[in-house]
Amino acid sequence: YFKSVNDTLGHAIGDDLLCAVARRMEDYLGPGDMLARIGGDEFGILQRGGGAVDARALAEQIISAIREPFTLNHHRVIAGGSIGIALAPQDARLGVELLKNADLALYRAKNDGRGLCRLFERQMEHAAVARRTLQLDLDEAWREQQFFLCYQPIFACQSGALAGFEALLRWRHPSRGIVAPATFIPAAEDTGLIVPIGAWVLEQACLVAATWPAPLTVSVNLSPIQFRTGEVEAQVNGALRRSGLAPRRLELELTETTLLQEGATVREILQNFRSRGIRVAIDDFGTGYSSLGYLRTLPIDRIKIDRTFVNGLGHDTHSLPIIRAMQGLADAISVSTIVEGVERAEQLEILRAERCTYVQGYFLGHPGTPEDAMRMAKEAKV
């Protein structure tokens, strides 16, 4: 929230928001309680007396209070917060350890969703050690070139013609074997390593796609961290220039969360990309918080319907109406759809009946090597 306010309304309003949040939190503190700004948009509260029940009650009151809109210099501002709680003496006796454990609980709260509070648990320390080990392994993986790309085909839903491929990052760990992105991408984002990894993915995907016959496209996923560095435009433009790939054959995928949290900065960059002919897609559509009104303002060409809405097609009564509504929404804002996770012939037939645009999934094609993609590209009718 804070970064979005800074980006859209300016740092002065952002500073005013911090002050207003602090004043609102102070309203709920008791005698002897202390409030301090730790840094950035993080605050610390020292609550005297009481226990877990009192601490959770205070946290939930503060979270609820911060959700109420602020009016700052005639602007209506929406904010929110997450809270981690550590108790003395059971969780720690020293102040520095208490703060560290509260921070671990905050990490869990943020990871679990928005506007939540979590109490510290000992297993959080073990999870922190595991994250640190993973981060060290990632550093080594980057140095030792253990990452590689697979390419999963995307097909036109109605004709079955090959439309392109999605570039998927994989990690060949020396002892764990192939590690899926869901395991290591969050750690790479935490350390900032996702920035050089993301630039490498762009470069490799464009070089490989340039060898395919036109107009086959390649889709590349972008992390929100890549936008925060201010380098993503130069990385994309450089990858296109060095590979010789036509901009219209590159599609960039971002999650709903990225578009919502990163605000005006991302929208401006995406508009620049689209002005060059680069396509933009919202990945995992339906799992975030986008509204129809908000979607209409976004510079996008496609929405990718998440596999969670495809799994039940033909088996339950809920999936089809959801898919139908999403396709109708896409038609309403004049964008195409890509449906992920197609794993049965029955699902494909239903999606064709619903006039979905593109499909992707194991029933149609598994992720393969660059050589597999080239062979499929040569054999396909495009």
Distance between CA atoms of 114 and 58, rounded to whole angstroms? 17
pLDDT given for residue 165 in this prediction: 98
Q: Taking the CB of residue 36, how many other CB atoms lie within 10 A of it? A: 10
pLDDT exceeds 70 at position 20: yes
Res. 314 pLDDT band, cuts 50 70 90: confident
- Read off the pLDDT of each residue in 145-151 and give the average, rounded to a whole number: 97
Whether 70 contacts 19, CB under 8 Å: no
Packing angle of the helix pair 122-143, 181-191 (nearest 10 deg) = 90
Between the alpha carbon of residue 1 and those of residues 14, 82, 115, 347, the distances in Å are 10, 11, 11, 38
Distance between CA atoms of 248 and 209, rounded to whole angstroms? 12
Residues 221 and 271 placed together within one structural domain of the fold = yes
Residues 82 and 197 placed together within one structural domain of the fold = no
pTM: 0.76
Angle 360-364-368 from CA coordinates, rounded to 5°: 85
- Read off the pLDDT of each residue in 327-347 and give the average, rounded to a whole number: 94
Between the alpha carbon of residue 118 and those of residues 27, 44, 87, 159, the distances in Å are 22, 14, 12, 50
- Read off the pLDDT of each residue in 329-335 and give the average, rounded to a whole number: 91
pLDDT given for residue 126 in this prediction: 85
Q: What is the dihedral of CA 206, 364, 352, 214, to 10 degrees?
A: 30
Tell whether 128 is covered by a domain.
Answer: no
Whether 249 contacts 268, CB under 8 Å: no
Residues 297 and 374 placed together within one structural domain of the fold = yes
Res. 256 pLDDT band, cuts 50 70 90: confident
Res. 106 pLDDT band, cuts 50 70 90: very high
Residues 91 and 199 placed together within one structural domain of the fold = no
Residues of the chain with pLDDT > 90, as a percent, come to 68
Residues 192 and 100 placed together within one structural domain of the fold = no
Tell whether 28 is covered by a domain.
Answer: yes
Number of domains in the chain: 2
pLDDT given for residue 1 in this prediction: 66
Question: How much is the CA Rg of the chain, to the nearest whole Å?
Answer: 23
Which of these three, 64, 97, 120, is where a domain ends?
A: 120
- Read off the pLDDT of each residue in 54-61 and give the average, rounded to a whole number: 94
Look up the CATH number of the domain holding residue 18.
3.30.70.270
Residues of the chain with pLDDT > 70, as a percent, come to 96
Q: What is the mean pLDDT of the chain?
A: 91
Tell whether 126 is covered by a domain.
Answer: no
Residues 183 and 114 placed together within one structural domain of the fold = no
Q: Which two tokens stand for residue 237?
A: 């433009």
Residues 46 and 98 placed together within one structural domain of the fold = yes
Single out the residue of 161, 50, 59, 43 nearest to residue 109, CA to CA.
59
Whether 157 contacts 123, CB under 8 Å: no
pLDDT exceeds 60 at position 326: yes
Tell whether 127 is covered by a domain.
Answer: no
Single out the residue of 382, 335, 340, 346 nearest to residue 365, CA to CA.
340
pLDDT given for residue 104 in this prediction: 92
Which of these three, 120, 151, 183, is where a domain ends?
A: 120
Tell whether 125 is covered by a domain.
Answer: no
* pLDDT tens per residue, range 189-215: 989 999 999 999 999 999 999 999 999
Give the residue numbers spanning the domain of 270.
133-379
pLDDT exceeds 80 at position 141: yes
pLDDT exceeds 70 at position 269: yes
Residues 103 and 193 placed together within one structural domain of the fold = no
Which of these three, 120, 145, 168, is where a domain ends?
A: 120
pLDDT given for residue 284 in this prediction: 74
Residues 155 and 77 placed together within one structural domain of the fold = no
Distance between CA atoms of 206 and 218, rounded to whole angstroms? 7
pLDDT given for residue 184 in this prediction: 93
Tell whether 152 is covered by a domain.
Answer: yes
Res. 303 pLDDT band, cuts 50 70 90: very high
Residues 202 and 102 placed together within one structural domain of the fold = no
Residues 150 and 241 placed together within one structural domain of the fold = yes
pLDDT given for residue 43 in this prediction: 96
- Read off the pLDDT of each residue in 153-175 and give the average, rounded to a whole number: 96
Residues 100 and 177 placed together within one structural domain of the fold = no
* pLDDT tens per residue, range 111-132: 888 899 999 999 888 888 888 8
Look up the CATH number of the domain holding residue 349.
3.20.20.450
**Residue 318: partners with Cβ closer than 8 Å, 6 or more residues away:** 312
Q: Taking the CB of residue 42, how many other CB atoms lie within 10 A of it? A: 12
pLDDT given for residue 10 in this prediction: 85
